[in-house]
Chains A and B, each alone.
Chain A
Amino acid sequence: MKMLMNVPERVVSDALRGMALAHPELVVDVDNRVIVRRDAPVAGKVGLVSGGGSGHEPLHGGFVGHGMLDAACPGEVFTSPVPDQMVRAAAAVDSGAGVLLIVKNYTGDVLNFDMAAELAEDEGVRIAKVLVQDDVAVTDSTYTAGRRGTGGTLFVEKLAGAAAEEGADLDRVAAIARQVADSSRSFGVALSACSTPAKGGPTFDLPDGELELGIGIHGEPGRERRAMMTSGEIADVAVDALLEDLRPDGPVLALVNGTGGTPLLELYGFNAEVQRVLTERGVAVARTLVGNYVTSLDMAGASVTLCQVDEDLLRLWDAPVSTPGLRWGR
């Protein structure tokens, strides 16, 4: 498989060097792998730190900036970052108001962030944590490591980030983050496998003419394989899976997310189908975001995330944000 890179071992470092040059408003520490907004720590403001394996861009580094994250820690491709990165990030963004760690629910991320939280607290940083586990494709039972964290992460980072920017304290920012995490659900489908630089080819086998329903953001298999379906049929399955679990009694934010290898033309068409099903099911959509935000390298496919919002959360959604990946109102 052809990839636009020098050597696989340097993919993440090369990307960070390029990101630094493209975004002077960020401080990108290529050696220590920490991306921090240049004005951090912002006096009196709670710091937001997230991180995870690379390969999901713009998540998380592309969401660093005013109104969203204060710092992000990129790991190797699909591999959680290490505690040293998170401790360094927390120290860089702590104004004394404390730091919220936003963690996607994967065994590696949870273990490394847990270790980092302990170390940062030893250094005198007040830490709160929120775990994002929004993927309805896998059941949450004692037989799994819980639900996976996927597209809901964008909503948590945006809404908690806006609250922090407004001056909410650590307890309040953490409470909002947890409310958003609890109110978000995602479901993804893959039309093709993703290829990691280390492997140099597809990480799983998805034959032509088939799709994987309930795919994870690392290409982990989900619920079932089926013969290829139309955009409308996929929207029916995805939205029904979400509503079976979320049962919203108010308006929702909708994220129709591309996984990296699907053109925006197809994503907008898919969004039309998603909104059709939501309307049929009587769900009001307050705001919609369409694009590649939580990707899986070059995987073709899409995911739908819904987040039930009240007026307060909707106001936080509309609040200004200025990051490489998400920008409005400022």
Chain B
Amino acid sequence: MDAEFFRRWLTATARAVEREAGRLTELDSAIGDADHGANLRRGFQAVTEALAARDPQEPDTPGAVLTLAGRTLVSKVGGASGPLYGTLLRRTGKALGDAPEVSDAELRAALEEGVRAVGVLGKSEAGDKTMLDALFPAVAALAESYPAAGDAAARGAEATIPLRARRGRASYLGERSVGHEDPGAASSALLFATLAEVAGDVR
């Protein structure tokens, strides 16, 4: 997979976020503050623009694409999702190094590192009803295939419904957070759905 593959992944994610922004905001209004869709849409629009305006002098590698996208999210989105998604992409990008092409195994290892960094930054673990509940199973299922990772992320997001939130704004709801899907897990599932989609186009 080359830099172009990762650009396609990110622009596909931007389209998916655009399409699903209303649903994400709806989920967030149940247990948060009703802005997750709007914020991610703003962030991924900025990512699309940053990728298009890329400095031709910069190396065109998968690592550089993800790092630029991550930095853009950190400096454009705000809220918790900016630093968390920004860190996921930036740390994954850094782990990929400056290779012009990366293998499936290298991407999986890099994503593992990116997801771990999200857990450290957010001081969260599996089962806290956060984006990690989609990301952990997705990365684990990458060993099998991209579609399996997409499915695992979607199931992980759905599995947050009965959980009680322990991190982020939803944690203030305590028991009342039970019965709602975590919006961050839902958007993380989109990220892996589009990865499966873009990988499927390639093969």
Known contacts A77-B35, A83-B75, A199-B34; is-contact A107 B167 (Cβ 8 Å) = yes
Q: Are A107 and B122 in contact, with the CB atoms below 8 A? A: yes
CB-based contact A220/B34 at 8 Å: no
Kindly identify, within residues 52 to 99 of chain B, every residue whose CB is under 8 Å from any CB belonging to chain A: 74-84
Interface members, chain A 56-112 (any B CB < 8 Å): 75-84, 106-108, 111-112
What residues on A are CB-neighbors of B173 within 8 Å?
220-221
Contact of A82 among B35, B77, B167 (CB under 8 A): B77
Q: B33, B82, B83: which has the most chain A beta carbons within 10 Å?
A: B33
A301 at the interface (CB under 8 A from B): no
In the complex, which residues of chain A have a beta carbon less than 8 angstroms from the beta carbon of B194? none
> Do the beta carbons of A199 and B172 come within 8 Å of each other?
no
Find out whether the CB atom of A107 lies under 8 angstroms from the CB atom of B169: yes
Residues of A within 8 A of B34 (CB): 78, 196, 198-199, 203
Interface of A is mostly: loop
CA–CA, A79 and B80, complex, Å: 8
- Which of A137-145, A263-271, A276-284, A302-310 is found at the contact surface with chain B? A137-145
Given contacts A107-B168, A112-B83, A221-B176, contact A78 B75 (CB under 8 A): no
> A111 near B35 (CB under 8 angstroms)?
no
Please measure, in the bound complex, the distance between the C-alpha atom of A53 and the C-alpha atom of B169, giving whole angstroms.
14
Establish whether residues B33 and A82, one from each chain, have CB atoms under 8 Å apart when the complex forms.
no
Tell whether, in the assembled complex, residue B172 and residue A148 are in contact, meaning their CB atoms are under 8 Å apart: yes
A47 within 8 A of B: no
Residues of A within 8 A of B35 (CB): 76-79, 196, 198
Q: Verify B78–A112 contact, CB threshold 8 A.
A: yes
Question: Which partner residue on chain B sits nearest A199 by CB separation?
Answer: B34
Q: Mark out the residues of chain A between 143 and 177 whose CB falls within 8 Å of any chain B CB in the assembled complex.
A: 143-145, 148
Output the residue of A84, A138, A144 with the most chain B CB within 10 A.
A144
Indicate if the CB atoms of A108 and B166 lie closer than 8 Å.
no
Residue on A with the closest CB to B130? A107
Q: Quote the shortest CB–CB distance from A192 to chain B (angstroms).
A: 15
Q: Which residue of A lies closest to B82 (CB)?
A: A82
A143 in contact with B166 (CB, 8 Å): yes
Contact with B33, one of A81, A112, A144, A220 (Cβ below 8 angstroms): A220
> Which B residue's beta carbon lies closest to that of A225?
B176
In the complex formed, the residue of A with least CB distance to B33 is A218
* Residues on the B chain within 8 Å of A198, using CB: 25, 34-35, 38
- Determine if A108 and B82 form an interchain contact, defined as CB atoms under 8 angstroms apart: yes
In the complex, the number of residue pairs spanning A and B with C-beta atoms less than 8 Å apart equals 101
Whether B29 lies near A203 (C-beta < 8 A) is: yes
When the two chains form their complex, are residues A143 and B171 in contact, meaning their CB atoms are under 8 A apart?
yes
Interface: B162 (CB within 8 A): no
Instruction: Say if the beta carbon of B174 comes within 8 Å of chain A.
Output: yes
Specify which chain A residues have a CB less than 8 angstroms from the CB of B121 in the assembled complex: 111
Q: A145-B169, A148-B172, A203-B33 given as contacts; is B80 within 8 A of A107 (CB)?
A: yes
- With a cutoff of 8 Å between Cβ atoms, the chain B residues found around residue A106 in the complex are 80, 169
Whole-angstrom distance between the Cβ of A134 and the nearest chain B Cβ: 14
Asked if B39 is an interface residue, CB under 8 A from chain A, the answer is yes
Partner pick for A138 among B33, B76, B81, B172, CB 8 A cutoff: B172
In the complex, chain A residues whose CB is within 8 Å of the CB of B79: 53, 75-76, 79-80, 108, 112
Q: Does A40 contact B (CB under 8 A)?
A: no
Is the C-beta of A291 less than 8 angstroms from some C-beta in chain B? Answer: no
In the assembled complex, which residues on chain B have CB atoms less than 8 Å from the CB atom of A143? 164, 166, 171, 174
Contacts of B39 in A (CB 8 A): 76, 79
Nearest residue (CB) in B for A147 is B172
Q: Give Cα distance in the complex from A107 to B122, angstroms.
A: 8
Q: How far is the CB of B81 from chain A (nearest CB, A)?
A: 8
Given the interface pairs A83-B75, A199-B29, the reply to whether A111 lies near B83 with Cβ below 8 Å is yes
Cβ of B33 and Cβ of A219 under 8 Å apart? yes
What 0/1 pattern do residues 165 to 203 of A give for CB contact below 8 A with B? Answer: 000000000000000000000000000000010110001
- Bound CA–CA A58/B35 (angstroms): 21
Q: In the docked arrangement, what's the CA distance between A165 and B167, Å?
A: 37
CA distance in complex: A80, B39 (Å): 11
Contact of B83 among A84, A115, A222 (CB under 8 A): A115
Give the residue of B25, B74, B168, B176 whose beta carbon is less than 8 angstroms from that of A115: B74
Would you list 24 pairs from A and B whose C-beta atoms are within 8 A, ordered by A residue?
A78-B33, A79-B77, A80-B80, A81-B78, A82-B82, A108-B78, A108-B82, A108-B83, A111-B121, A111-B122, A112-B79, A115-B74, A138-B172, A144-B166, A144-B172, A145-B167, A145-B168, A145-B171, A145-B172, A198-B34, A203-B33, A220-B33, A220-B172, A221-B172
- 5 closest pairs, A vs B, by CB? A108-B80, A108-B79, A111-B83, A144-B171, A203-B34
4 new A-B contacts, CB < 8 A, other than A108-B82, A115-B74, are A143-B171, A144-B171, A199-B34, A220-B173
